[in-house]
Amino acid sequence: MKNLFIILFLLSFSLSFSQTKTDAFFVDGVCGMCKDRIERSCIKVKGIRLADWNLENREIKVIYNAKKISIDEIHKFIASIGHDTKKEKAPDEAYNSLDMCCKYRDEEVVKDHQ
């Protein structure tokens, strides 16, 4: 009986752990404020356990629970805070609400950050 309990416990633990996924994808941005906004906003979303955006290659690494949120929902969320991804373009209203130094679609702003 004790062995059965241990096996059931390990099985349930492995099933819940298997729902954790890691993905990396492009998210547009240009500065430290973008990094802060992207990471802080993502980590507040239910199901996202880690968000690490790399300014140099503009790639985000996310660890998330696939039972709680899908990768498409993560793309949509990031677009909703003003940052384009490969799958979703940020709505103009969200993009326009970014600080002037974060306007990654403006070539002059991008040049200023290089």
- Tokens of residue 19, six digits: 């729902």
Report the CATH number of the 19-112 domain: 3.30.70.100
**pLDDT exceeds 60 at position 68:** yes
Domain boundaries of the chain, sorted by first residue: 19-112
pLDDT surpasses 80 at 82: yes
Average pLDDT over the chain reads 89
Distance separating alpha carbons of residues 60 and 54, to the nearest angstrom = 6
Our measurement of the distance from residue 47's CA atom to the centroid of its chain's CA atoms, rounded to an integer in Å, reads 11
For residue 7, the model assigns a pLDDT of: 63
- Using a pLDDT cut of 90, give the percent of the chain over it: 75
pTM: 0.82
CA atoms within 13 A on the CB side of 105: 13
pLDDT above 80 for 66: yes
